[in-house]
Amino acid sequence: MQKRELGKSGLQVSAIGLGCMGLSYGYGPATDIQEATALIRRAFERGVTFFDTAEAYGPYKNEELLGEALAPFRSEVVIATKFGFNFDANGGQSGMNSRPEQIRAVADQALKRLKTDVIDLFYQHRVDPDVPIEEVAGTVKALISEGKVRHFGLSEAGAQTIRRAHAVQPVTALQSEYSLWWREPEQEILPTLEELGIGFVPFSPLGKGFLTGAISETTTFDSKDFRNVVPRFSQEARKANQALVDRLAEIAARKKATPAQVALAWLLVQKPWIVPIPGTTKLHRLEENIQAAGVELTAEDLASIESALATIKVEGDRYPAHLQARVNR
């Protein structure tokens, strides 16, 4: 697989990474550890060198899974993880926490869980309104100087926060949602990243599965699947948003590709420093996503996609109200 550099950081990763959250958390019961390990190692065999996790995924379970699965080829991969939350005794999030002592504690714990001596990319998971971003950046800068972290990242941060952080410690990558059905980053975020030489790592590049065409208005989700509370996944919204997937399927058919592959190829062609991280629990979906790196979209293809998007209004917010307040700070 082709490599890409995240901004001007010097950090080179595979053009498509693997978002590992869903193997442990968020979309229903955790995947069997042996199956999850096999999928992660298969991704590496197929050229994926960029793996994304977080202490919040489980919590802790996903980092432990990656640490074990990637141990045989740790030096050949880039692992990104995140800090920024407190957790209660039951493993639920109990508020944000990006205080310097918390960041340091999370780094030390993550190093053990990941079975490594350095975190390649350490993201603030969400911007903490109670801790100045300069303190956060300064703490990660110190961890970098100590050799515990290589690169600093932000997630779902607004443009001014990115600038303030970058002035203290260069930001290697921003991880935020971006896809054919969530294009808000194009307004202010992408120009800011380009100006500052920061890479962009879109999560949910397939619209949490919707852009694959495998989800319809009649689909039911597991009781532990967080899409049950996402407005964009209400039955009414799914019915309305089917029009986008139908148009995507038409374009994909002409390309002898799948809707998911076209959606990922579209992201790759936007900027050379964009690296999407689709997640999956299925080997055949992993293969499908990896092959998207070889799908070439012509100017005519892109115009067709743009024309389709212009006539379709995506229905439903991407987060429930209490979570929406945490993004784009």
The gap from C-alpha 121 to its chain's centroid, in whole angstroms, comes to: 13
The two three-digit tokens of residue 30, written as one number: 């955790």
Give SS3 for 154: strand
User: Would you state the structure tokens that stand for residue 219, as one six-digit string?
Assistant: 């689909």
Are 19 and 81 spatial neighbours (Cβ–Cβ below 8 Å)?
no
φ/ψ of residue 87, rounded to 5: -130, 140
* Distance in angstroms (rounded) separating the CA atoms of residues 261 and 126: 29
Question: Do 225 and 219 touch, CB atoms closer than 8 A?
Answer: no
Distances (CA, A) of 1 to 4, 42, 176, 202: 10, 13, 23, 18
Tokens of 53: 């996790």
Q: Measured between alpha carbons, how far is 299 from 315 in angstroms, rounded to an integer? A: 27
CB-based contact 20:279 (threshold 8 Å): yes
Distance of alpha carbon 221 from alpha carbon 265, whole angstroms: 27
Give residues with Cβ within 8 angstroms of 32, minimum separation 6.
none
- Tell me whether residue 25 is one of the annotated catalytic residues: no
* 107 vs 199: CA distance, rounded Å: 22
Q: How far apart are CA 232 and CA 318, in angstroms?
A: 6
Catalytic residue chosen out of the listed positions 25, 27, 57, 178:
57
Nearest to 37 by CA among 64, 69, 60, 73: 69
Any idea which residues carry the catalytic annotation?
Answer: 57
